[in-house]
Homo-oligomer: A and B are copies of this chain.
Amino acid sequence: MQREVSQAVIKRLPRYYRYLEHLRNNGISKVSSGRLAEMLDITASQVRQDFANFGGFGQQGYGYDVEKLLKEFSSIIGLDSEHSVIIIGAGNMGRALSGYRGFANDGFSVKALFDLKDGEPVNGIPIYAIDTLESFLADNQIDIAVIATQGKIAHEVACLVVELGVKSIWNFAPVDLEVASDVVVENISMSESLYVLSYKTKQAREQIIDIKE
């Protein structure tokens, strides 16, 4: 597999995977690059170029085998092995995330929530005090730490989990995290998304007013 895959291709991987699942769930066993292109709103040649990053996946003329493609994408994305997850912050967001179905569906196993103090389990997942994190991580191999704290402590929390050896962070706190370059960080930027929604809503409204005037 080639190493340097562009950000644009990486962002399309989930969409390929989701669409292929949809096809399989509807009993469709073959799909053309043209049909995939249509669903992703790109060109068929772009689809073939994307696939070339990962070795091509077989003959395009006869269409791709949906089941085989799904397996390939599952492996590329890393969904074919289990990932252990902890969630830091057991407020509303942390609790919501502990019940996020996407985790279990795709082999992500949430082992524990951490907060200032320990507490009653949520969705069957224990809540431990943050001062036990070090010994927990010494005893448990954890792949991903989800940060669901308030913004003002998120950076401190990120530094702590990285220091304790976690290499991947899924960040729900509204801050940009600065961590070591060998740590993978993905941000869910809620406030940015809300501001963009607000901006577009205002624009759409002003256009309606323009038309009415």
A182 at the interface (CB under 8 A from B): yes
A79 CA to B201 CA, complexed, in Å:
11
Judge whether B102 and A191 touch: CB under 8 Å: yes
Q: How many residues of A contact B (CB 8 A)?
A: 58
Known contacts A102-B190, A186-B193, A79 near B198 by CB under 8 Å: yes
Number of copies: 2
Interface centre among A93, A96, A100, A108 (most CB of B within 10 A): A96
Main secondary structure of the interface of A (DSSP, over half): helix
A144, CB-defined interface residue at 8 Å: yes
Task: Establish whether residues A199 and B76, one from each chain, have CB atoms under 8 Å apart when the complex forms.
Answer: yes
- What residues on B are CB-neighbors of A184 within 8 Å? 197, 200-201, 204
Q: Which residues of B contact A182 (CB under 8 A)?
A: 204
- Chain B residues lying within 8 Å of A17, measured Cβ to Cβ, are 195
Q: Is the CB of B14 within 8 A of A201?
A: no
